[in-house]
Amino acid sequence: MEIIRVENLTKSFGTLEVLRGISFSVHCGDVLAVIGPSGSGKSTLLRAITHLETVSGGSVSIDGVDMVRDGVYAPAATLRSIGLKIGLVFQNFNLFPHFSVLRNITEAQIRVLRRSRQEAEARAYELMVKMGLADKAKAYPFELSGGQQQRVSIARALALDPKVLFFDEPTSALDPELTGEILKVIRDLAREKMTMVIVTHEMYFARDVADRVLFMDEGLIVEEGTAASIIGNPKNERTKAFLSRFTDHSLDSL
Protein backbone atom coordinates (compact mmCIF):
# COMPACT_ATOMS: atom_id res chain seq x y z
CA MET A 1 0.00 0.00 0.00
CA GLU A 2 1.33 3.42 -1.01
CA ILE A 3 1.59 5.81 1.91
CA ILE A 4 3.50 8.70 0.30
CA ARG A 5 3.20 9.90 -3.28
CA VAL A 6 5.15 12.88 -4.56
CA GLU A 7 4.59 14.11 -8.11
CA ASN A 8 6.57 16.77 -9.98
CA LEU A 9 7.34 18.66 -6.75
CA THR A 10 9.01 22.04 -7.19
CA LYS A 11 10.27 24.62 -4.73
CA SER A 12 11.93 27.94 -5.44
CA PHE A 13 13.34 30.62 -3.18
CA GLY A 14 13.17 33.68 -5.42
CA THR A 15 15.05 32.75 -8.58
CA LEU A 16 16.78 29.78 -6.94
CA GLU A 17 15.20 26.45 -7.86
CA VAL A 18 15.83 24.08 -4.96
CA LEU A 19 13.49 21.25 -6.05
CA ARG A 20 13.08 20.76 -9.79
CA GLY A 21 10.33 18.25 -10.45
CA ILE A 22 10.71 15.51 -7.82
CA SER A 23 8.56 12.37 -8.13
CA PHE A 24 8.63 9.18 -6.06
CA SER A 25 6.48 7.03 -3.80
CA VAL A 26 6.91 5.12 -0.54
CA HIS A 27 4.96 2.00 0.42
CA CYS A 28 3.80 1.12 3.91
CA GLY A 29 6.59 -0.51 5.91
CA ASP A 30 9.37 0.68 3.59
CA VAL A 31 12.49 2.57 4.60
CA LEU A 32 13.62 5.16 2.05
CA ALA A 33 17.04 6.80 2.41
CA VAL A 34 17.68 10.13 0.66
CA ILE A 35 21.35 10.81 0.03
CA GLY A 36 23.33 13.43 -1.83
CA PRO A 37 25.74 16.32 -1.35
CA SER A 38 24.99 19.33 0.82
CA GLY A 39 22.76 21.78 -1.00
CA SER A 40 21.17 19.12 -3.20
CA GLY A 41 17.67 19.78 -1.81
CA LYS A 42 17.33 16.78 0.53
CA SER A 43 16.25 18.68 3.64
CA THR A 44 14.01 21.01 1.62
CA LEU A 45 12.29 17.96 0.18
CA LEU A 46 11.64 16.63 3.68
CA ARG A 47 10.36 19.99 4.87
CA ALA A 48 8.07 20.27 1.86
CA ILE A 49 6.54 16.82 2.40
CA THR A 50 5.99 17.54 6.10
CA HIS A 51 4.47 20.97 5.32
CA LEU A 52 7.23 22.96 7.02
CA GLU A 53 7.84 24.59 3.65
CA THR A 54 5.17 25.53 1.12
CA VAL A 55 5.81 24.13 -2.34
CA SER A 56 5.90 26.11 -5.57
CA GLY A 57 4.21 23.37 -7.57
CA GLY A 58 3.44 19.68 -7.79
CA SER A 59 1.52 17.28 -5.59
CA VAL A 60 1.98 15.40 -2.31
CA SER A 61 -0.41 12.83 -0.85
CA ILE A 62 -0.08 11.08 2.51
CA ASP A 63 -1.97 7.86 3.15
CA GLY A 64 -4.13 8.46 0.10
CA VAL A 65 -5.13 12.03 1.03
CA ASP A 66 -3.91 15.03 -0.98
CA MET A 67 -1.91 17.51 1.07
CA VAL A 68 -1.25 19.61 -2.02
CA ARG A 69 -2.44 18.98 -5.58
CA ASP A 70 -0.85 20.89 -8.47
CA GLY A 71 0.42 23.50 -6.05
CA VAL A 72 -2.95 24.05 -4.31
CA TYR A 73 -3.14 23.04 -0.66
CA ALA A 74 -5.98 21.15 0.97
CA PRO A 75 -8.24 22.91 3.52
CA ALA A 76 -6.81 23.54 6.98
CA ALA A 77 -8.81 20.71 8.59
CA THR A 78 -7.41 18.21 6.07
CA LEU A 79 -3.87 19.49 6.64
CA ARG A 80 -4.29 19.04 10.40
CA SER A 81 -5.53 15.48 9.85
CA ILE A 82 -2.55 14.70 7.60
CA GLY A 83 -0.20 16.25 10.14
CA LEU A 84 -1.26 13.66 12.71
CA LYS A 85 -0.01 10.91 10.40
CA ILE A 86 3.48 12.38 10.17
CA GLY A 87 6.32 12.32 12.68
CA LEU A 88 9.51 14.34 12.20
CA VAL A 89 12.82 13.96 14.01
CA PHE A 90 15.06 17.01 13.61
CA GLN A 91 18.84 17.32 13.43
CA ASN A 92 19.08 19.35 16.62
CA PHE A 93 16.50 17.54 18.77
CA ASN A 94 14.15 20.56 19.24
CA LEU A 95 13.21 19.50 22.76
CA PHE A 96 11.56 21.94 25.15
CA PRO A 97 14.47 22.82 27.46
CA HIS A 98 12.20 23.73 30.40
CA PHE A 99 10.26 20.42 30.22
CA SER A 100 11.38 17.15 31.74
CA VAL A 101 11.85 14.12 29.51
CA LEU A 102 8.45 12.84 30.61
CA ARG A 103 6.70 16.12 29.82
CA ASN A 104 8.47 16.43 26.46
CA ILE A 105 6.93 13.10 25.48
CA THR A 106 3.48 13.65 27.01
CA GLU A 107 2.74 17.28 26.15
CA ALA A 108 1.70 16.79 22.52
CA GLN A 109 -0.24 13.64 23.37
CA ILE A 110 -2.38 15.62 25.81
CA ARG A 111 -2.75 18.78 23.71
CA VAL A 112 -2.99 17.28 20.21
CA LEU A 113 -4.41 13.79 20.70
CA ARG A 114 -6.48 14.78 23.77
CA ARG A 115 -5.24 11.80 25.73
CA SER A 116 -5.63 11.84 29.49
CA ARG A 117 -2.46 12.45 31.46
CA GLN A 118 -2.56 8.87 32.67
CA GLU A 119 -2.78 7.52 29.11
CA ALA A 120 -0.05 9.87 27.89
CA GLU A 121 2.32 8.95 30.69
CA ALA A 122 1.71 5.23 30.17
CA ARG A 123 2.65 5.62 26.50
CA ALA A 124 5.64 7.79 27.41
CA TYR A 125 7.02 5.24 29.89
CA GLU A 126 6.55 2.48 27.33
CA LEU A 127 8.63 4.46 24.84
CA MET A 128 11.25 5.49 27.40
CA VAL A 129 11.85 1.82 28.16
CA LYS A 130 12.08 1.11 24.42
CA MET A 131 14.62 3.91 24.01
CA GLY A 132 16.71 2.97 27.04
CA LEU A 133 15.59 6.06 28.96
CA ALA A 134 13.55 4.45 31.74
CA ASP A 135 15.58 6.23 34.44
CA LYS A 136 15.47 9.66 32.76
CA ALA A 137 11.79 10.62 33.18
CA LYS A 138 12.54 13.50 35.55
CA ALA A 139 15.71 14.67 33.80
CA TYR A 140 15.88 17.85 31.71
CA PRO A 141 17.46 18.05 28.25
CA PHE A 142 20.59 19.83 29.49
CA GLU A 143 21.27 16.85 31.76
CA LEU A 144 21.31 14.40 28.84
CA SER A 145 23.91 13.47 26.26
CA GLY A 146 23.22 14.29 22.64
CA GLY A 147 22.36 10.68 21.95
CA GLN A 148 19.90 10.61 24.83
CA GLN A 149 18.31 13.86 23.66
CA GLN A 150 17.84 12.44 20.18
CA ARG A 151 16.26 9.29 21.62
CA VAL A 152 13.81 11.51 23.54
CA SER A 153 13.06 13.29 20.26
CA ILE A 154 12.34 9.94 18.57
CA ALA A 155 10.15 8.85 21.49
CA ARG A 156 8.22 12.13 21.30
CA ALA A 157 7.55 11.58 17.60
CA LEU A 158 6.50 7.96 18.13
CA ALA A 159 4.18 8.92 20.99
CA LEU A 160 1.76 10.47 18.49
CA ASP A 161 1.51 7.12 16.63
CA PRO A 162 2.42 8.47 13.19
CA LYS A 163 2.01 6.34 10.07
CA VAL A 164 5.32 7.56 8.68
CA LEU A 165 8.40 8.91 10.43
CA PHE A 166 10.78 11.39 8.80
CA PHE A 167 14.38 11.87 9.92
CA ASP A 168 16.45 14.86 8.83
CA GLU A 169 20.11 13.92 9.36
CA PRO A 170 19.35 12.37 12.77
CA THR A 171 23.03 11.90 13.67
CA SER A 172 24.56 15.09 12.26
CA ALA A 173 24.62 16.90 15.63
CA LEU A 174 26.16 13.93 17.47
CA ASP A 175 29.70 12.93 18.25
CA PRO A 176 30.72 9.83 16.27
CA GLU A 177 30.66 7.66 19.39
CA LEU A 178 26.99 8.56 19.97
CA THR A 179 25.91 8.00 16.38
CA GLY A 180 25.74 4.22 16.74
CA GLU A 181 23.08 4.29 19.45
CA ILE A 182 20.71 6.35 17.27
CA LEU A 183 21.31 4.17 14.24
CA LYS A 184 20.50 1.12 16.36
CA VAL A 185 17.16 2.67 17.37
CA ILE A 186 16.32 3.32 13.72
CA ARG A 187 17.39 -0.20 12.75
CA ASP A 188 15.04 -1.58 15.41
CA LEU A 189 12.18 0.54 14.04
CA ALA A 190 12.93 -0.76 10.55
CA ARG A 191 12.67 -4.34 11.83
CA GLU A 192 9.26 -3.42 13.26
CA LYS A 193 8.23 -2.25 9.75
CA MET A 194 7.90 1.41 10.69
CA THR A 195 7.58 3.42 7.47
CA MET A 196 10.49 5.87 7.41
CA VAL A 197 12.08 8.46 5.14
CA ILE A 198 15.63 9.26 6.24
CA VAL A 199 17.89 12.00 4.95
CA THR A 200 21.36 10.81 5.87
CA HIS A 201 25.08 11.04 5.17
CA GLU A 202 25.61 7.63 6.77
CA MET A 203 26.18 5.52 3.65
CA TYR A 204 26.75 2.20 5.40
CA PHE A 205 23.59 2.76 7.42
CA ALA A 206 21.58 3.54 4.28
CA ARG A 207 23.00 0.45 2.60
CA ASP A 208 22.16 -1.83 5.53
CA VAL A 209 18.75 -0.48 6.60
CA ALA A 210 17.01 1.15 3.64
CA ASP A 211 14.83 -0.73 1.19
CA ARG A 212 15.36 2.00 -1.41
CA VAL A 213 17.71 4.92 -1.90
CA LEU A 214 17.23 8.21 -3.74
CA PHE A 215 20.37 10.06 -4.78
CA MET A 216 19.70 13.79 -5.20
CA ASP A 217 21.85 16.48 -6.75
CA GLU A 218 20.98 20.08 -7.71
CA GLY A 219 17.32 19.62 -6.86
CA LEU A 220 16.81 16.50 -8.96
CA ILE A 221 16.61 12.76 -8.32
CA VAL A 222 19.65 11.60 -10.27
CA GLU A 223 19.33 7.90 -9.50
CA GLU A 224 17.08 5.66 -7.44
CA GLY A 225 16.81 1.97 -6.70
CA THR A 226 17.54 -0.62 -4.07
CA ALA A 227 20.10 0.29 -1.43
CA ALA A 228 22.44 -2.43 -2.67
CA SER A 229 22.27 -1.26 -6.29
CA ILE A 230 22.64 2.47 -5.65
CA ILE A 231 25.36 2.31 -3.00
CA GLY A 232 27.01 -0.90 -4.15
CA ASN A 233 26.78 -0.49 -7.93
CA PRO A 234 25.65 2.99 -9.04
CA LYS A 235 25.12 3.58 -12.76
CA ASN A 236 25.11 7.38 -12.95
CA GLU A 237 28.50 9.09 -13.08
CA ARG A 238 27.41 11.78 -10.62
CA THR A 239 26.33 9.10 -8.13
CA LYS A 240 29.64 7.30 -8.60
CA ALA A 241 31.57 10.51 -7.97
CA PHE A 242 29.62 11.25 -4.79
CA LEU A 243 30.04 7.72 -3.42
CA SER A 244 33.72 7.52 -4.33
CA ARG A 245 34.62 9.23 -1.05
CA PHE A 246 33.09 6.25 0.77
CA THR A 247 35.47 3.43 -0.11
CA ASP A 248 34.39 -0.21 -0.07
CA HIS A 249 36.87 -0.79 2.75
CA SER A 250 35.45 1.98 4.92
CA LEU A 251 31.90 0.78 4.30
CA ASP A 252 32.70 -2.84 5.03
CA SER A 253 34.62 -2.05 8.20
CA LEU A 254 31.75 -0.19 9.83
Q: pLDDT, tens digit, for every residue of 203-223?
A: 888 988 999 999 999 999 999
Mean pLDDT for 1-13 is 96
Give the span between the Cα atoms of 175 and 177, in whole angstroms: 5
Residue from 88, 117, 86 nearest 102 by CA: 117
Contacts of 66 by beta carbon, 8 Å cutoff, 6+ apart? 59, 60, 74, 78
What's the pLDDT at 250?
42
What is the predicted pLDDT for the residue at 251? Answer: 45
Q: How crowded is residue 251: how many other Cβ atoms within 10 Å of its Cβ?
A: 15
Mean pLDDT of 217-234: 94
96 pLDDT more than 80 = yes
Q: Is the pLDDT of residue 3 over 80?
A: yes
Judging by DSSP bridges, how do beta strands 195-199 and 212-217 pair with one another?
A: unpaired
pLDDT at 249: 39
The mean per-residue pLDDT over the stretch 81-87 comes to 95
CA 188 – CA 192 distance, rounded (Å): 6
Q: Which residues of 87-108 are buried (b: 16+ CB within 10 A; e: fewer)?
A: bbbbbebebeeeebbbbbbbbe
Bigger pLDDT: 203 or 178?
203
The pLDDT assigned to 246 comes to: 77
Per-residue pLDDT tens over the stretch 41-79: 999 999 999 999 999 999 999 999 999 999 999 999 999
